[in-house]
């Protein structure tokens, strides 16, 4: 397999509005989206998120452009990614990618299959009482059954919405950083992220070394502006989804 791109994420603690301003994100072009996650209906009734706990994420995004439905495995292993899902591909309206996902405290592998829809087309699937499994297409279903066969997919319910505000390519020292705020269930999170793509001639050690340098630069750039970097191991998806399930927001 070719070398995989690396997405480096830094989560921020404290006052999100103040942190967004300190990181130069208040004046950029903001994209507003609404995000829902599909979870196991019986699990949610007990305040639990069994799909997420099994490494399966089913995410709907609407607003700010085309809608999309993403089925993601995170964390996963290369051994799980079998058949056509062992390598990235793009065939409209589907995009499949495999990448490393780094945080301050963890490094995992993630594989995601995204189906893009015209704006507004997914809204009905996440309405109260709707079945959010309906838009999951045959290839996404095959992906789940082939690569996560031990995770049972039963009746689903949509959790949300999470309000996402994103500003891309914000200059931070010599980096271009994406900033995204999530608001839901009385919680607010700010995530700063950068991507590192393999270059021609890279070997694995060179790619990792370059990514580690960029990760240090990102953390240093955030802290230099008086913003506190979160040391929590749980990512924002897990924290928000757990809060939504426990709050019964579906």
Looking at the chain, the number of H-run helices and the number of E-run strands are 6, 11
pLDDT at 30: 92
pLDDT at 234: 65
Residues 71/97, Cβ–Cβ less than 8 Å: no
Nearest-Å Rg of the Cα atoms of the chain is 18
Calpha distance 31→43 (Å, rounded): 32
Q: Which ranges of the chain have pLDDT less than 70?
A: 1, 233-234, 248-250
pLDDT at 132: 97
Question: 249 CB contacts (<8 Å, ≥6 apart)?
Answer: 159, 160, 184, 185
Calpha distance 35→62 (Å, rounded): 7
Residues 77/89, Cβ–Cβ less than 8 Å: no
**Domain 6-247, what architecture?**
Beta Barrel (2.40)
Burial label, 66 (beta-carbon count in 10 A; 0-12, 13-18, 19+) = middle
Domain spans in the chain, listed from the N-terminal domain onward: 6-247
Burial label, 131 (beta-carbon count in 10 A; 0-12, 13-18, 19+) = middle
pTM for this structure?
Answer: 0.94
């Amino acid at each position: 397999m070719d070398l995989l791109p690396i997405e480096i994420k830094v989560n921020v603690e404290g006052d999100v509005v103040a942190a967004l301003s300190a990181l130069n994100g208040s004046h950029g072009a903001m994209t507003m989206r609404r995000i829902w996650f599909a979870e196991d209906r019986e699990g949610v009734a007990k305040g639990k998120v069994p799909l997420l706990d099994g490494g399966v994420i089913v995410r709907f995004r609407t607003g700010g452009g085309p809608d999309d439905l993403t089925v993601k495995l995170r964390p996963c292993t290369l051994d799980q990614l079998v058949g056509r899902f062992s390598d990235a591909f793009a065939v409209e309206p589907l995009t499949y990618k495999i990448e490393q996902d780094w945080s301050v405290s963890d490094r995992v592998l993630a594989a995601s299959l995204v189906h893009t829809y015209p704006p507004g087309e997914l809204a009905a699937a996440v309405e109260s009482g709707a079945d959010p499994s309906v838009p999951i297409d045959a290839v996404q279903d095959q992906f789940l059954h082939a690569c996560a066969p031990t995770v049972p997919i039963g009746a689903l319910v949509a959790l949300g919405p999470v309000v996402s505000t994103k500003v891309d390519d914000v200059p931070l020292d010599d980096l271009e950083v994406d900033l995204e705020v999530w608001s839901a269930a009385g919680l607010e999170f700010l995530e700063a992220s950068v991507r590192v793509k393999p270059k021609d001639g890279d070997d694995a050690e060179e790619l990792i070394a370059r990514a580690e340098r960029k990760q240090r630069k990102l953390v240093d750039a955030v802290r230099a502006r008086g913003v506190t970097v979160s040391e929590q191991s749980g990512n924002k998806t897990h924290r928000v989804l757990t809060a939504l399930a426990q709050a019964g927001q579906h």
